[in-house]
Amino acid sequence: MTDTAVDLVVLGGGSAGYACAMRAAELGSSVVLIERDKLGGTCLHRGCVPTKALLHAAEVADEIKEAAAVGLRAKFDGVDVDGLHQYKNAIVGKHFKGLTGLVASRGVQVVAGDGVFAGGRSVNVGDDTYTGTNVVLATGSYSKSLPGLAIEGRVITSEQALELQWVPQRALVLGGGVIGVEFASVWASLGAEVTIIEALPSLVPAEDPWVGKQLERAFKKRKIAFKTGVRFSGVTQDESGVTVTLESGESLTGDLLLVAVGRGPATEGCGFAEAGVEMDRGFVLTNERLATNLPNVYAVGDIVPGLQLAHRGFQQGIFVAEEIAGRGPIVVPDSRVPRITYCDPQIASIGLTEQQATDEYGEVETLVYNTAGNAKTDILRTAGGIKVVRAKDGPVVGFHMVGARIGEILGEAQLIVNWEAYPEDVAPYVHGHPTQYEAIGETMLAMAGKPLHVHS
């Protein structure tokens, strides 16, 4: 039984928690970081990194299948599942080692164990108590299911999907959001027949509706089936497969059902509610500066309502460390956080949808640039486009992009939106040719009234 007093106690060592711990240590604080599993959390071990490794393998499979179209002889001969996992796990392992070293090098004291917030400014781990001048809650999220839908056997979440030792021939995916369409894309590339079931009227319903339409068109071409506006009613399974029934009475069969219906806050059993932290359906409520209702207690990452993204967690963690150090960091609202979905084709967006912009600014102007006019897009043999939204005669407030590897060019769009640039400001700057980011330059030229490679 020990009592340890430090400047900062961080509960949860995922993206948000470790970013906060490291920044606070850089700023001179003594920091304890409590983690019950592995530093890096969901993103490194069960989220961003392993899924993107699988998506890259899927992209390579597609490239091989399409080799003849670029004048090469190659044959896709199937998936070496062990090799696939080795590739994925090696990347995760390397980054885990790197992160562990980084955290140690900053002088952060990592405590292994299950932490329970004890109220005040203390966290208990077993019989030991860690008290900070400030406490940051960062316990992350878990895969949700639907009432009555048990995760077992052939009914899996992204966690089991990442460790699957076989490639499904027929995969059913419940939920057409980010995680659902990413796994659908992987399995389709690896040879599965995939059907996505989405209750809302389109795939990726959180995006501008134009994006959903582009993705649906691309998925149709890739023969990824989807049923939108339909509700799940039940599932049965046996040794040979799963059968999902929909409220419409229709039923679908597959080798497995991936449940990708969102992620809930991992706050149960952490002592937050008991200690008087203001919560809403398990999420921790904060003000815009990430302070909870309790003095000197902050929350960051997926437990704070809003976008559940690793880089939002990094930003929030750094923000709180700087806030505590009295540095007055700027607030970055969720609408200014970049969003990328890594299916094929990728989706990348920043800022407001057309509807949100209209609600905020009254009148808006939009422009859709078809990347068919972009040579690099053609070289990559992809298709898609960029939709730009600006306030009428005002700054650019939203970029919505669809296309292979399009996430790689979101950086410029992010700067344009975050710096509230006008198309007229950006248009004079030169973009390298032939690149996909050149398409952003084309949108700015067109919006500034001087279109170049734009087909009407």
Ligand X SMILES: Cc1cc2nc3c(=O)[nH]c(=O)nc-3n(C[C@H](O)[C@H](O)[C@H](O)COP(=O)(O)OP(=O)(O)OC[C@H]3O[C@@H](n4cnc5c(N)ncnc54)[C@H](O)[C@@H]3O)c2cc1C
Residue 12 is a binding residue for ligand X (CB under 6 A): yes
Residues in region 302-321 near ligand X by CB under 6 A: 302, 308-311, 313
Is residue 311 annotated as part of the catalytic site, yes or no?
A: no
> By C-alpha distance, which of 257, 91, 96, 59 is closest to 168?
257
Which residues are CB-contacts of 142 (< 8 A; sequence separation ≥ 6)?
263, 264, 266
255 vs 302 by CB, closer to ligand X = 302
Residues β-bridged to residue 31: 8
Pick from 5, 266, 291, 270: which is nearest to 118 by CA?
A: 270
Q: Rule CB under 6 A: is residue 51 a binding residue for ligand X?
A: yes
CB-nearer residue toward ligand X: 258 or 391: 258
CB of residue 224 vs ligand X: minimum separation in angstroms? Answer: 18
Residue 338, both tokens: 């970049």
DSSP-derived letter for residue 433 is T
Contact segment (CB under 6 A) with ligand X among 30-38, 377-385, 409-417, 434-442 equals: 30-38
Of residues 40 and 441, the one with the C-beta less far from ligand X: 40
Tokens of 405: 């590897």
Q: How far is the CB of 417 from ligand X (least distance, A)?
A: 18
Question: Of 44-52, 129-137, 364-372, 389-397, which part binds ligand X (CB under 6 A)?
Answer: 44-52
Residues 6+ apart with CB under 8 A from 342: 51, 52, 55, 182, 185, 407
Q: Which of 236, 275, 318, 246 is CA-nearest to residue 115?
A: 275
| Cβ-based nearer residue to ligand X, 15 or 237 | 15
- Sequence-ordered list of residues with C-beta below 8 angstroms from that of 363, at least 6 positions apart, any chain: 391, 392
- Per CB under 6 A, 37 contacts ligand X: yes
Q: Which residue, 15 or 371, is less far from ligand X as judged by CB?
A: 15
Least distance to ligand X, CB of residue 16, Å: 3
- Nearer CB in complex with ligand X: 101/113: 113
Closest to 43 measured CA to CA, from 104, 108, 92: 92
Name the token pair of 262. Answer: 């969102």
Do strands 122-125 and 263-265 pair parallel, antiparallel, or not at all (unpaired)? unpaired
> Minimum distance between the CB of residue 29 and ligand X, rounded to whole angstroms?
19
N-terminal to C-terminal alpha carbon distance within the chain: 73
Pattern 78-117, ligand X, x by CB under 6 A: ------------------------------------xx--
CB of 51 or CB of 349, closer to ligand X = 51
The site that binds ligand X (CB under 6 A) totals a number of residues, namely: 37
**Contact (Cβ atoms closer than 8 angstroms) between residue 384 and residue 368:** no
Q: Are 166 and 38 in contact (CB under 8 A)?
A: no
CA dist list (Å): 121 to 6, 269, 275, 319, 361: 10, 17, 10, 19, 42
Structure token digits, residue 232: 């799940």
Cβ nearer to ligand X, comparing 350 with 444: 350
Among residues 138, 204, 297, 426, the one that binds ligand X under rule CB under 6 A: 138
Q: Which residue has the tokens 């989220």?
A: 47
Catalytic position from the list 85, 95, 400, 433 = 433
Pick from 270, 290, 410, 427 the residue near ligand X by CB under 6 A: 270
* Of the candidate residues 266, 357, 427, 445, the single one contacting ligand X (CB under 6 A): 266
Indicate which single residue of 9, 17, 176, 385 sits in contact with ligand X (rule: CB under 6 A): 17
Question: Stretches 13-21, 236-244, 410-418, 448-456: which one binds ligand X (CB under 6 A)?
Answer: 13-21
Determine the Cα–Cα distance for residues 227 and 218; give it in Å rounded to an integer.
Answer: 15
Nearest 5°: CA angle at 291, between 41 and 122?
70
Among 6, 15, 192, 286, binds ligand X (CB under 6 A): 15
In the bound complex, what is the minimum distance in angstroms from residue 318's beta carbon to ligand X? Answer: 12
Contact between 179 and ligand X by CB under 6 A: the answer reads: yes
Binding site for ligand X (CB under 6 A): 11-17, 34-37, 41-43, 46-48, 51-52, 114-115, 138-141, 158, 179, 266, 270, 301-302, 308-311, 313, 342
